[in-house]
Structure 1
Amino acid sequence: MRKKISAAIIGLGIAATSLFATGSASSHGYTDTPTSRQVYCANGTVKDCGEIQWEPQSVEGSKGFPARGPADGTICAGGNSRFAELDDPRGGQWPSTSVSSGQSYTFRWRLTARHATTDFRYYLTRPGYDPSRPLTRSDLDLQPFLTVPYGGRVPDATVSHQGTLPSGRSGKQLVLAVWTIADTGNAFYACSDVQF
């Protein structure tokens, strides 16, 4: 009997390890500076986040933004319905990072699985953006204010990019960061609310 119990425990341990390994194989990356919505969900600052609280690194969707990629209203979740809570504007009440118009800023990604990379791109909402509505392309300046080409190289586990925030912004705005993968059809998306 004791051997059967031991065998069952070992079997469960192997199954759990395999399941964990499979789950982490689909893990990839997120921005933590400025703090992204998925980080606020993962660290418990924002409640009622659904599955994203356990998978802040998994906001993966089709690449090619803005011409392709997630549909309007689903951009912050990368078009992934499992993480739809990220697209909920919560009445414009997402926590925000304080920034200044025209400020030099260091943007940072945490990568839990590294991939050959085309580039990292950063977009900012236009003046007049309404943070109480889901994000659409018409809310964004579709020309990124910062593009960091990688030419297929694999980035480090922590990646920082120095850039300058556009001038002429005030109030609550949103930074959309897009990490485009070179050898798949996907990209990773992260929305960070900022207060100018």
Structure 2
Amino acid sequence: MPKRAGVTALGLGLVAGATLLGTPTASSHGYTDTPISRQKLCANKTVSNCGQIQWEPQSAEGPKGFPAAGPADGRICAAGNAQFAELDDQRGGTWPATRVNSGQGYSFRWQFTANHSTTDFKYYVTKNGWDPTKPLTRAALDPQPFLTVAYNGARPPMTTVHQGAMPSGKTGRHMILAVWTVNDTAMAFYSCSDVQF
């Protein structure tokens, strides 16, 4: 009898494993650290009262298709995940900001805990005159990304750098939204970085 119970348990384990392996979810995760993202500031303990994101900065994952789809307005930085809501809290516009120069070349860097087949990376910036005390919305962003890097299904290296230029005509405080679109799932990863032009 104990032998049979062991075989049954093994069979159930194999079925559960096969079910999990067949589920099309992203096992990949990542975030931007240049310019430093809110989730990385939390993981570094530079910013406090961050909740769960401080232990898993790579996990701001939500539906892909931004800006036509994806997380709801006001929940973009957390990728629509309530457990990471601290990323959407503007904190009165006091998040630490990286100094950058409008129109100048820049190395945008992602760190991955697991890479994945990738469609592309897109970088958006807030419009001139946006309110940095209010949660990020699509209306607050320039409608087109200022940088798009196509991957066509390839897997990025665990540390990935994209060479580009900061958007022109920007002054003062802004936010850069980086979106990593996974190729073979319905998901994308969202990373918000506060910058000062």
- TM-score normalised by L of structure 2: 0.86
Distance in 2, Cα, partners of 1:92 & 1:66 = 23
Match of 1:195 in 2: 196
Taking the aligned partners of 2:169 and 2:145, their CA distance within structure 1 comes to 15
- Whether the aligned pair in 2 keeps the contact of 1:27 and 1:55 (CA below 8 Å) is no
Are positions 1:92 and 2:93 aligned together? yes
Identity %: 67
CA contact under 8 A between 1:70 and 1:78: conserved in structure 2? Answer: yes
Map residues 56-135 of structure 1 onto 2, 5 A cutoff.
56-135=57-136
Secondary structure, in 3 states, of the residue corresponding to 2:57? coil
The answer to whether the 8 A contact 1:30-1:111 is kept is yes
Q: Which runs of 5+ in 2 are unaligned?
A: 1-25
Conserved 8 A contact 1:111-1:158:
yes
Structure 1 CA distance for aligned equivalents of residues 96 and 27 of structure 2: 27
State the Cα RMSD in Å: 1.0
The runs of 5 or more residues in structure 1 that have no matched partner are 1-24
CA 1:82–1:26 in structure 2 vs 1: closer, same or farther (change >3 Å)?
A: farther
Residue 172 of structure 2 is matched in structure 1 by 171
Count the aligned residue pairs.
172
Tell me the amino acid that sits aligned with residue 82 of structure 1.
Q
Residue number in structure 2 paired with 1:10: none
Contact 2:28 2:115 in 1 (8 A): no
AA matched with 1:175: I
Q: 1: CA distance between counterparts of 2:102 and 2:130?
A: 15
TM-score by length of 1: 0.86
1:27 shift after superposition: 5.6
DSSP 3-state at the match of 2:176: strand
The question of 1:183 aligning with 2:184 is answered yes
SS of the equivalent of 2:189 reads: strand
Partner amino acid, structure 2, of 1:38: Q
Summarize deviations over 1:66-91 as a string: whole Å, max 9, x none. Answer: 00000000000001111000000000
TM superposition shift of 1:26:
4.9
Aligned with 1:57: secondary structure? helix
What does the per-residue CA deviation read over 1:18-50, in whole Å, with 9 as the maximum and x for residues that have no partner?
A: xxxxxxx85610000000000000000100000
Deviations 1:124-148 (A, max 9, x none): 1000011111000000012000000
Give runs of ≥4 in structure 1 deviating > 4 Å: none
C-alpha distance in structure 1 between counterparts of 2:51 and 2:112, whole Å: 21
